[in-house]
Structure 1
Amino acid sequence: MTNWMPTLSDGEGPIYVRLADRIEADIAAGALAPGAKLPPQRNLAFDLGVTIGTVGRAYALVRERGLVSGEVGRGTFVLGSSDEPARQPQPEVFGGTRFPLTSGKLRMDSTAAPDVGQTRLISELVTRIARDHAADMLDYVRQPLPAWLDAGRVWLSRTGWQPSPESIVPTAGAHAAIMAVIAAMTVPGDRIVFEALTYSSIARSAALIGRRPVMVEIDADGMIPEDFDHVCAQQHPKLTFLMPSLHNPTLATLPDRRLNEIVAIARRHNVWLIEDMVFGNLVDDASGLLVSLAPERTFHVGSLSKSVAAGLRTGWVACPPHTAQRVHTASRMVAGSLPTFLMSETAARLVLSGEAEAIRRSVRAETAAREAMARTILAGSEFSSRPDIPFLWMKLPEPWLSGLFRRAVADEGVLVDEEDEYKPVRTERNHHRIRVGFSSAGSRDDVLRGFDTIRRVLEGGIAGHDSFG
C-alpha cells in the first residue's frame, strides 16, 4: 500500500477528472511506481472530502487510459508511466485462452476457408510457378511486382470504391497488414481504440510493441459513436481499429448514420482508422465503407484467409495518400522481409484470373449449407448467424459462463472460443457467449457432430461441470 495522497488544487473541470489527471501525472513523475496499489476508494474519498462515486469515476477513467488495473477483491494497481514507454510494463490485455492443438479435438475455434476443391487448383498453380520461377523463389523479394499491386486493387475493390495500385501494400496476411499500419503510424505509448469485443490478437500484438489498447463500447449495431467521441476527448488516441462491414464476433454491421458519425469524430480528433474487411469480403450486401467516406485517414485491409485459403498468408492494405511507403517500410521492418515470391505470385494469379472469386462463391455456398445445419440442430438456442459468415455468436443460458462451457464441450472433444478471446482489455463484464466456427471442420459430418455435441451439453445443463470453477 502506498502513502500517496493527491492534491487537487490545480487543474480545471470536474473533481473526478482532476483526480484522474493527478494520478496520471504522479505516475509519469514516478510518485506512483509500477505495481503500486492505489488507496481504497472509500479511504481516499474520506481523506479528500468527496464521495466514493467521485473516486470511483476517477479510477475508472485512469483504467480506461491504460494506467491501472483493477482486480476484484485485491484493489487497483499502477501499470506504468506513459512518459517512459520503453520501461513501462505493458498494459494488461486479456485473452490468450485458446487450447493448444490437440489431436482428436474437433476445431470449431477457427474460421479458415473450407476446402471446396481449391486444394487441387492451388497445388497445380504452385507447381507451375515453382517450375517457371525457380530463381525468383530462391531470392529475397525487394519490391512487389506490379501484378501483385493490381491483384490487391481488384480484391479490395467493392461497392463503387476502388483503390489505386500505388496505394496498395502487399503483406503476409491481414494481421501483418494491420500491425504494419500500427508500427508506421504510431509510436510506443500511443493509445489505440478497439471495440469492447473485437479481434483481440491485434490488441495483444499492439501492447507487445508498446502501444496502449483502450476500449469503446458497442451495442447491437456496433461501435457507439458517443462513447468513441468521449474516449477520443479524454484519451487522445492516435488510431482506431474496427470491423464495420462484418464484426467479429458479434456479426454486427455499422449503419450508414454511424459510419458518418465515426468519420466526423475521427476527423475532429485527428484519429487514423483501420478498416478490417477480412469477413466483410464474404458479404455481398455490405453497407458503406469507411474508406469511401474518409480516404484521407482510412487504411482498408483485406486478405484471402476466409474467402480462398488461410495458408496462402496473403493480404493487402490500401493506404491513404502519401502513407503507402511508410507502411511498406514498416512491413519490412516488422516482418523482416516482404511476403514471399511464391505466395504473392500465387495469390495474384488466383485473383487476376478470376479463380479467387470463383472459390469465394463456392466458399459462400458451403458456408450457407453449414449455417443451415446450425439453425436446424441448435433450434431453440439463442445465437446470431448469417448464411455467408462461417461462425455463430451464441448466447449461453444461465448459469453458464463462457469459460466453463468451453471446457465442458472440450471435454466432449470439441473446441470453441469463449468470449474472453474477444476482449481487448480486461473487463469484469460477462456476455455469457461463445463463438462457434464451422468452416475449418473437414466435412459436413464433422460439423454435424460438433453442433450435436454443443446441443447435448446445453441440454445436459451445468450439473457435473461446476468442478471446473
Structure 2
Amino acid sequence: MTSFLPSPLDGHSPYYVRLADAFEAAMADGRLPSGDKLPPQRHLAFDLGVTVGTVGRAYALLRERGLVSGEIGRGTYVLDQRHAADQPPRDNFAFAYTGTRSIDSPAGKLRFDTAAAPDIGQSERIGATLADVARDMSIEVASYSRSTPPHWRTAGARWLARNGWAPDAETVVPTHGAVSAALSVITAMSAPGDRIVFEKLTFSPIARSARLAGRRTVGVEIDSGGMVPEDFERVCAQQHPKLAFLMPTLHNPTLAILSEDRRRQIAEIARRYGVWLIEDDLYGSMSDDPTPLVAEFAPDRTFVVSSLSKCVAAGLRVGWVACPPHLAQRITVTHRLLTGGISFVLAEAGARLVLSGTADELRRRSMAEIEARHRIVSEILAGADVTTHPFAPFVWLKLPDPWLSGTFKAAAARRDILIDDEDEYKPERMEHNYYRARISYSSGDRALIATGMTELRSLLDSGMAGYDGET
C-alpha cells in the first residue's frame, strides 16, 4: 500500500474534488504508479481530518475518471496509466453527463432510484393496444412517420389539459417522452453558448443534455416553496438567459409546489426579460393540486411538457409538448432531427390509450397504488425529517448527523438498495450541501417496498455505525 498522502489543491471546488485532483496529479507524475493500493478510506480520513464520506466521494470520482479500480474486501488500486488515451477526457464525459447513477445498474438490487409507473397490470391493456395498431395499420407500421395525424395532437391536448387550462391541439407536438420534448425546445429556442436556467436542485439529465448540446447552465435558488422569483430576476438581469426549465407542481426531488403568486411573478419576469419557459408538469398531472399552470399566466412564452411514464408506463416512451402559438412546426422539425423521427407504433398506441380513456383509468389506478405505498412508507419513516406527498412516488429525506448524502447512498447500496443522493439533482457544481436523499417506491411490489424501507430506516437510525466505508 502506498505511503503517499495527498495534499488537496487550493481552489473553490468541493474538497472531495480537490482530493481526487491531487491523487490524479500524483498518478500523472509517477508518485502513484500503477498497481499501488490507495489508503483505506477510514485511515486517510483520519490523516486528513475529514469524514469518511468525503474520502469515499473522492475515490468514487477517481473510479468515474477511469483511474482506479475498487473491489470490496481488496481495496482501491491505481490502474495502468499507459492506457490513459483510452480513458475519458479530464473533465470526464461519463461523470459529467450521466450523474451519480450507474450507466448499467447492477442486478439483484432494490430499485429505489426510479420513479417510473408502478406495475398495476397495465401490460395487458398496453399489449392489446399495440396488437390492435399492428393489425389495423400494417402499412403505416412498416414505414416511417412522415406526418403527424391530427388525433395524435388531440390526444396530447387532452393529456396535458389540467386545472381549467387546455392547449389548442394545433399547438401540441407528440414526442418520445418529456425529456425529448424539453430537449427539443431547448435546441429549437436557443443556440450553443446560450444560458439556460435551472433550479439549483432539479431533474438534472435535462441540464446535462443541454450542456452536451453546447448550452451553459445557470442555477437559481429554491426554497421549500420552489423557485425563488427574486433570484430568478437577478439571474435574468445579470446573465440574460434564453430559457428556463422549471417544475412548479411536485418538484423533483423536493416535492415543492409553487404558489400562484410565485407563478405569476415568474411569468412576469420571463416576459420582462424575454425568457422562454419550459413547464414540466410530469408529476403535476398526478397531483390533486388546484394551482393554475404557469402557462395560464404566460401562454405566449411557455412550453408545457408531460408524458405517460410516471402513471401509465415508462416503457412506452410517449409524451407531448404544448407550444406557444406558431411554434409547433419548429419544435416538430427539431424533435425529428434530434431523434430521427417519432415511432409510429408508440405514438399511435399512446394516442389510442388516451382517447379511449384507458390512460386516465391507468393513471387513477397508479395514483391509488402510489397512495397505498405512501401510507406504508410514511409509517416506516414516522418521526424522520422527510417531505412526502400522497401521490408522489418518492420521498425527500433529510439525513441526520453524521450522514452525508453520498455516504448514505453508498451505505444503502451495501445493503443492496439503490437510492439517489442529492448530487444526482444538482445541475451544476456548488458548495452547498442539503444533506438529503431521494428514495422512490414505485418499483417492485408493496412487500418489497416495506422490506427495503425498513432496512433504510434501520440504517438511518444506526448512524455511521451502520456503515463500514472500507473498500
TM-score, shorter chain, exceeding 0.5: yes
| 8 A contact 2:97–2:212 mirrored in 1 | no
Paired residue for 1:412, among 400, 415, 427? Answer: 415
Q: Which residue of 2 aligns with 1:402?
A: 405
Paired residue for 2:448, among 443, 446, 453? Answer: 446
**Cα gap change, 1:464 to 1:256, in 2 (>3 Å):** closer
Q: Which residue of 2 aligns with 1:269?
A: 273
Paired residue for 1:355, among 327, 343, 358? Answer: 358
Question: Aligned partners of 2:167 and 2:410: how far apart in 1?
Answer: 44
| 8 A contact 2:97–2:209 mirrored in 1 | no
**Cα gap change, 1:263 to 1:468, in 2 (>3 Å):** farther
Q: Which residue of 2 aligns with 1:189?
A: 193
Question: 2:384 matched to 1:381?
Answer: yes
Q: Which residue of 2 aligns with 1:4?
A: none
| 1:392 alignment partner, SS class | strand
Question: Aligned partners of 2:262 and 2:226: how far apart in 1?
Answer: 9
| 8 A contact 1:200–1:422 mirrored in 2 | yes
Q: Which residue of 2 aligns with 1:429?
A: 432
Question: 2:330 matched to 1:326?
Answer: yes
Q: Which residue of 2 aligns with 1:116?
A: 120
Report the residue type matching 1:291 in the other structure: A
Q: Which residue of 2 aligns with 1:461?
A: 463
Output one character per residue of 1:124-181: Cα deviation in whole Å (capped at 9) or x when no partner.
1111211222221111001111110100010001111111111001000000000000
Q: Which residue of 2 aligns with 1:44?
A: none
Paired residue for 1:138, among 112, 137, 142? Answer: 142
Structure 1: unaligned runs, 5 residues or longer: 1-39, 42-68, 78-88
Paired residue for 2:165, among 155, 161, 167? Answer: 161
Structure 2: unaligned runs, 5 residues or longer: 1-9, 22-90
Question: Aligned partners of 1:460 and 1:340: how far apart in 2?
Answer: 49
Question: Aligned partners of 2:129 and 2:174: how far apart in 1?
Answer: 19
| 2:126 alignment partner, SS class | helix
Query: How far off is 1:341 after superposition?
Result: 1.1
| 8 A contact 1:240–1:274 mirrored in 2 | yes
**Cα gap change, 1:364 to 1:74, in 2 (>3 Å):** closer
Report the residue type matching 2:457 in the other structure: R
Report the residue type matching 2:276 in the other structure: W
| 1:462 alignment partner, SS class | helix
What's the TM-score, normalizing by structure 1?
Answer: 0.80
**Cα gap change, 1:356 to 1:237, in 2 (>3 Å):** same
| 8 A contact 1:280–1:286 mirrored in 2 | no
What's the TM-score, normalizing by structure 2?
Answer: 0.80
Question: Aligned partners of 1:394 and 1:70: how far apart in 2?
Answer: 25
**Cα gap change, 1:280 to 1:465, in 2 (>3 Å):** same
Output one character per residue of 1:351-384: Cα deviation in whole Å (capped at 9) or x when no partner.
0011111111000000000000011111121101
Q: Which residue of 2 aligns with 1:344?
A: 347
Output one character per residue of 1:203-242: Cα deviation in whole Å (capped at 9) or x when no partner.
0000000000100000000001111111111100000000
Query: How far off is 1:115 after superposition?
Result: 1.3
| 8 A contact 1:90–1:207 mirrored in 2 | no
| 8 A contact 1:173–1:303 mirrored in 2 | yes
Report the residue type matching 1:380 in the other structure: G
- Percent identity over the alignment? 51
Question: Aligned partners of 1:256 and 1:232: how far apart in 2?
Answer: 21
Q: Which residue of 2 aligns with 1:83?
A: none
Paired residue for 1:212, among 213, 216, 219? Answer: 216
Question: Aligned partners of 2:141 and 2:105: how far apart in 1?
Answer: 30
Q: Which residue of 2 aligns with 1:310?
A: 314
| 1:264 alignment partner, SS class | helix
Report the residue type matching 2:462 in the other structure: G
Report the residue type matching 1:264 in the other structure: E
Question: Aligned partners of 2:331 and 2:166: how far apart in 1?
Answer: 19
Question: Aligned partners of 1:71 and 1:380: how far apart in 2?
Answer: 31
Question: Aligned partners of 1:427 and 1:94: how far apart in 2?
Answer: 16
Which stretch has the larger CA shift, 209-218 or 277-286? 277-286
Q: Which residue of 1 aligns with 2:367?
A: 364
| 1:262 alignment partner, SS class | helix
Question: Aligned partners of 2:179 and 2:262: how far apart in 1?
Answer: 25
Question: Aligned partners of 1:399 and 1:460: how far apart in 2?
Answer: 10
Paired residue for 1:285, among 283, 289, 292? Answer: 289
Paired residue for 1:248, among 248, 252, 273? Answer: 252
| 8 A contact 1:190–1:238 mirrored in 2 | yes
Question: Aligned partners of 1:454 and 1:190: how far apart in 2?
Answer: 42
| 1:231 alignment partner, SS class | helix
| 8 A contact 1:416–1:434 mirrored in 2 | yes
Query: How far off is 1:459 after superposition?
Result: 2.1
| 8 A contact 2:401–2:463 mirrored in 1 | no
Q: Which residue of 2 aligns with 1:56?
A: none
